[in-house]
């Protein structure tokens, strides 16, 4: 058995005006985590939610809030997100070259799980030092679309990164994000991803519970066959 499958619906595809009930609906449908896309309108050309929304949601839910920071200055968000009740804090390697050690240390000191994300154009080698550090990140998020928006097409060529990571780090949490759904999960699962973010394929489904269990089954099946 490999690392546990975690299915994380991306709340970016939810009805933000009803966030608490949308979150509960996803948990009832079998979600493990809730993926929260935090964008600053600068690192990516879109602006979404921040710590106040996480804080509001936390009052309604005990769920694991898997925060994906698409922001230029992730360090500025550690304190407010920690206070707000975030569970995971995943920053982008492209904007953290100078201060990732400090970031990881601060994220952990606030009781959150540190993760690092990389854009499609960023080589996988760039995250190795963060995984091999004395104080390491605990998850790597491989972007399978250009960050910024839901509903984009899955980039199959990113699976080389996932395969390389899985071979090198058998126990690492590897998350994929962007364009995941019933037609792309097999590629991601067989490459070795175990944390699956899915926005439009879950929220747009007639039966979201069915999609969530299909995603989980694919990950578990791929692990049995590996
Ligand atoms: C994109 C975000 C994703 C997005 C995924 O920048 O990081 O989490 O919500 O949405 P889908 O699954 O629709 O591609
Ligand atoms: Zn995301």
Determine the Cα–Cα distance for residues 39 and 49; give it in Å rounded to an integer. Answer: 7
CB neighbours (10 Å) of residue 14? 20
For ligand 2, a single-atom ion, which residues have Cβ within 5 Å? 37, 68, 177
Catalytic residues, by residue number, are: 37, 177
CB-ligand 1 contact for 178 (6 Å cutoff): yes
List, in sequence order, every beta strand (DSSP E) within 25-161.
33-39, 64-70, 88-92, 113-118, 139-143
Give pLDDT, residue 221: 98
Give the distance (Å) from ligand 2 centre to CA of residue 14.
Answer: 13
Q: What is the largest CA-CA distance in the chain?
A: 46
pLDDT at 68 over 80: yes
Determine the Cα–Cα distance for residues 137 and 106; give it in Å rounded to an integer. Answer: 12
Tell me the pLDDT tens digit for each residue of 159-190: 999 999 999 999 999 999 999 999 999 999 99
pLDDT at 104 over 90: yes
Query: pLDDT confidence of 2, banded at 50, 70, 90?
Result: confident
């Amino acid at each position: 058995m490999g690392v546990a499958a975690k299915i994380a619906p991306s709340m970016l595809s939810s009805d933000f005006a009803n966030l608490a009930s949308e979150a509960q609906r996803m948990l009832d449908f079998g979600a493990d985590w809730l993926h929260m896309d935090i964008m600053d309108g600068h690192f990516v050309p879109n602006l979404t939610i921040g710590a106040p929304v996480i804080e509001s949601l936390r009052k309604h839910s005990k769920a694991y809030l898997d925060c994906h920071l698409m922001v230029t200055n992730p360090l500025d968000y550690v304190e407010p997100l920690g206070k707000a009740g975030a569970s995971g804090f995943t920053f982008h390697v492209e904007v953290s070259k100078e201060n990732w050690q400090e970031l990881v240390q601060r994220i952990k000191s606030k009781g959150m799980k540190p993760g690092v994300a990389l854009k499609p154009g960023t080589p996988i080698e760039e995250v190795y030092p963060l995984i091999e550090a004395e104080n390491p990140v605990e998850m790597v998020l491989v972007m399978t679309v250009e960050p910024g928006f839901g509903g984009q097409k899955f980039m199959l060529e990113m699976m080389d990164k996932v395969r390389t990571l899985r071979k090198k780090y058998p126990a690492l949490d590897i998350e994929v994000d962007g364009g995941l759904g019933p037609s792309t999960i097999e590629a991601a699962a067989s490459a070795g991803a175990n944390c699956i973010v899915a926005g439009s394929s879950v929220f747009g489904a007639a039966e979201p519970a069915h999609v969530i269990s299909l995603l989980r089954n694919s990950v578990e099946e791929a692990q049995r066959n590996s």
